[in-house]
A and B are shown apart, each in its own frame.
Chain A
Amino acid sequence: MTRITEKTRKTPALDLYRRQKRGRLWREVVRHRSAYLLLAIPFVYYIIFKYGPIWYGQIAFRDYRALDGVLGSTWIGFKNFLTFINSFYFWELLRNTLMYSFGKIIFSLPLSILLAITIYEATGTKLRKTVQTLTYLPHFLSWVIMYGILLTLLAPGDGIVNDVIKFFGGRPIDFLTNTKAFPWIVILSDAWKEMGWSAIIFIAALMGIDMSLFEAAMVEGANSWQRVRYITLPSIRPVIVVVLLLKIGTILDAGFNQIFILYSTPVLSVADIIDTWVYRQGLLQFEFGLATAVGLFKGAIGMSLILFANWMTRKVSDTGIL
């Protein structure tokens, strides 16, 4: 094989080859211009909103002063990170954040898979559509409206649930301001709100299963449970793994909107998460460097976890996203 040296690199033949290659690429781009035009929209979006802000990420390492700008502010190393890690409530924030993230995965994911399978297996078309519509509608409600609904249901004085408890002679429970009940309210209300919406991706995956597998299983005498166990679940396993991996990547995002609306002073010990702390400490106290540092911290943890989980799942099931 000829070794390419500085001398051979300059040969007219190689130049010609390169020009032809570039020409071919350009011709390909022109030929598929509509596809490339479509690609341009998300490309611009990512440049502006995702890659552009990376430049400003450096304020995590600076004592950011707006007048001095990003480049003019003084470097302070890891001081912002240390402020966060040494915060009085750091471990509690981390514990709460992980608790809600894992809680939501543990409850929401199986529920949405179960719902998807139930809808898929249901025979009545009208019933199936009605259930599907009713279950994904709450996704479109804001957490402000959800708070109103929860207050109507759970308020200790006149909530419907407490009215029932009182009717049966029980003592009313202060669900929204009780540290034992609050985490369950957060996790279950999130599951209720998002279950139907999350099920859509699994229903789509279920639609792709080869029907002949079910027919063969039925011929062999498999009952519904066995069909679900041996055909349905293994068939959608790659989708489950991908969804799980994506959720693990954002494990430190425990749902700012929800917690911010629902939490109150008496339940701060179990409700305060990293994002609500950042809101109070970073945005309300004008500590933008600190808020950015926590964002970077979350991103780094998320990326590490996603790489680890991806490696694990590849080892176990040969499925992954990378």
Chain B
Amino acid sequence: MKKNVMTIVLAIMLAMLCALPVFAQGTKESAAASAAPVKISLWYGAAITEAGPPPADWVALQIIREKLNIDLELTALPSNESDQDVKIQAAGAANNLPDVFMVRRDAWLRLVNQGLIAPVDSLYAKMPVRTAAQYDSASIAFTTVSGKSYGFASPGSISKNEGLLIRKDWLDKLGLAIPKTTEDLAKVLHAFTYNDPDGNGRNDTYGFGAFLEINNYEGGLGRRLQPILGAFGVEGTWNLTEANAGLSVRKPEMYDAMVYIKSLVDDGSIDPNWLAYQKDDFRAAWKQGRFGVMREQNAAYAATANYAPFDKNFPDGEWIVIDPPVGPKGHSSVGPYTTGYRIYAISAKAAQAGKAEKIAELLEWMSSDEGYYLLGWGVEGVNYVKDANGIPVDKDMPLGFSTATGQTVTQLRNMVFFNGDVELYARYPKYVTEVSKKEMSALDVLRDMESRKWTPNNGGDTLPAPNADLKRFYEQGLAEFLTGRRVLNQQNWNAWIAEFDRVGGKAWEDAGIAHAKANNLLY
């Protein structure tokens, strides 16, 4: 017994001896912890998806650590939007979201409803410079749910930055005028398909090029066909006019638009690959001279690197921006436009851990002169220099911000850019093409595209999205009418619309109109 007691006493003493340094160390560590950098994880949308992430020894990370006492961990989101949603939602499902992250609105709304995102209303005042540059009442409204703002909506892609383009050299060769109406357009598309506009003696060109690119406010047949749908007044998923509010697909004019597009498909005037194309296939196709009319984005068409292959293949080729065609009832539009935003949200977990104010500090620094130029263009003298007008340029600089290596240090530029003039001039400089020696400017193209006729659709991207089954029914039905799997006549169309309503189409429209009214989106 005595022996046992001695053993127990010795064991307790040994345990205490072991534990003492732990407690002592703990005290020391907690004191040190207050001075240690705050770890903040950031999931960002890369500015140039094909370029790599910023280097590990990136100077911005060092400055952030030294000046802000923040240890910033960067993770690039996938380039594909659906993959982005999956990554973020999977992290959300495990309550393991990063501290701050870029997120698309649909996924963001789901996370808000799950209580996984922190409200940020109190943080705007802590970021005076950034708020003045990036956030206004419209952007705050974009992230407001039940009276609270659940994220920062930074300016996204420039609105009205696409246009209807036509091969001017093909028109000239065939002696055709620029099409003004849908009738003219059909004739031009037919001629481009069957009259050998490139003069190579082969029947290998088509009139119109497209692919299915669908988003919340350009549903159904998607963005690329909007100039044709616009001629019938049914561009965009939603019509947001007070007098005619509702889903475009439920308007009688949609049937007329479908009949017109079907006639183009039947004539063979639309590149038959259009339903199988992905974005890159489409872009490779126009550069190979496969079609002569398309809706394309200003930089994707005219920026130096993007135009170069076309310039090389067709030194005498020339695209010009034209007005969208006018339809039988006088309608005309390139498509709907809305103000684009990128949402950066703070996870509820980060807010609970007391990181929200530190994140605001980080974002404010990003919008300071130092952060803005560093994240936007890199280090002055290394990645860019300023020209006489104060515009960053990188001509002949081996690590220039537009070179493959230099691009990596501008991957976070979407967090600081607000589509200001300096950015646009720097991003879209005038240049002379290598082969044809044409002077080009994606900025001039942008200004031209902006001046064409567009349909306002502000808030169209915030309206309720259809559920997965209804979305499938909607998109599949339209595609099937065009491919001939469903015969397109008024009777079949009416039956399909009735079925669409039964699956939930009418309820979707009612919910959308109610949301639009409640948020003053109708005009």
Contact = CB atoms under 8 A, between A and B. Distances in A.
Interface of A: 64-67, 69, 87-89, 151, 155-158, 172, 174, 176-179, 264-266, 268-269, 272, 277, 279-281, 283-286, 288
Interface in B76-97: 82, 85-86, 89-90, 92-95
B476 A266 contact: yes
Nearest to A65: B114
Contact of A265 (B116, B204, B212, B467): B212
Interface of B: 82, 85-86, 89-90, 92-95, 107, 110-111, 114-116, 204, 206, 212, 271-273, 275-276, 281, 290, 348, 467-469, 471-473, 475-476, 479-480, 482-483, 485, 503
A268 B275 contact: no
B92 A87 contact: no
A283 B272 contact: no
Given A67-B348, A284-B85, A174 B281 contact: no
Contact of A285 (B110, B275, B281, B503): B110
Contacts of A286: 89, 92-93, 107, 110-111, 114
25 contacts: A64-B93, A67-B95, A67-B115, A88-B469, A89-B469, A151-B276, A155-B273, A156-B276, A172-B272, A176-B276, A178-B483, A264-B276, A265-B212, A265-B479, A266-B275, A266-B482, A266-B483, A277-B468, A279-B86, A281-B469, A284-B85, A285-B468, A286-B93, A286-B107, A288-B93
Contact of A174 (B90, B95, B275): B275
A65 B95 CA distance: 9
Contacts of B92: 66, 286
Contacts of A285: 110, 467-468
A265 B476 contact: yes
A266 B82 contact: no
B348 A158 contact: no
B275 A177 contact: yes
Contacts of B212: 264-265
A3 to B, nearest CB: 39
A236 to B, nearest CB: 40
Contacts of A64: 93
Contacts of B471: 280
A269 B116 CA distance: 36
Contacts of A279: 86
Contacts of A277: 468
Greatest chain B CB density within 10 A among A89, A156, A264 is at A264
A88 B85 contact: no
A279 B85 CA distance: 11
A97 to B, nearest CB: 16
Nearest to B471: A280
A194 to B, nearest CB: 23
A2 B278 CA distance: 79
Contact of B273 (A158, A272, A284): A158
Contact of A156 (B272, B472, B476): B272
Contacts of B271: 157
Nearest to B87: A283
A174 B485 contact: no
A268 B276 CA distance: 13
Given A264-B275, A265-B212, A265-B476, A158 B281 contact: no
A272 B476 CA distance: 11
Contacts of B485: 179, 266, 269
Given A67-B95, A174-B276, A177-B276, A283 B89 contact: yes
B232 to A, nearest CB: 21
Most A CB contacts (10 A, CB to CB) among B95, B281, B472 go to B472
A51 B290 CA distance: 54
Contacts of A157: 206, 271-273, 290
Given A65-B115, A66-B95, A88 B483 contact: no
Contact of A283 (B86, B114, B480): B86
B114 A66 contact: yes
A167 to B, nearest CB: 12
A249 to B, nearest CB: 26
A175 to B, nearest CB: 9
Contacts of B115: 65, 67
A49 B432 CA distance: 57
A279 B111 CA distance: 17
A151 B280 CA distance: 13
B402 to A, nearest CB: 28
Contact of B86 (A89, A272, A284): A284
A189 to B, nearest CB: 14
Contacts of A174: 272, 275-276, 483
A283 B85 CA distance: 8
Nearest to A177: B275
B94 A66 contact: yes
Nearest to B89: A286
A283 B116 CA distance: 16
B275 A88 contact: no
Contacts of A69: 95
A266 B115 CA distance: 37
A291 to B, nearest CB: 9
Nearest to A148: B281
Nearest to B474: A265
Contacts of B94: 66
Contacts of B475: 265, 268
Nearest to B211: A264
B114 A67 contact: yes
Nearest to A284: B85
Contacts of B476: 265-266, 268-269
A217 B469 CA distance: 60
B273 A89 contact: no
Contacts of B473: 88
- Closest CB pairs A-B (n = 10): A266-B479, A286-B110, A156-B272, A280-B468, A281-B468, A157-B273, A265-B479, A177-B275, A66-B95, A88-B469
B264 to A, nearest CB: 15
Contacts of A87: 469
A285 B107 CA distance: 8
Contacts of B114: 65-67, 286
B116 A66 contact: yes
A197 B512 CA distance: 51
Contacts of B479: 264-266
Nearest to B92: A66
Nearest to B285: A157
A177 B348 contact: no
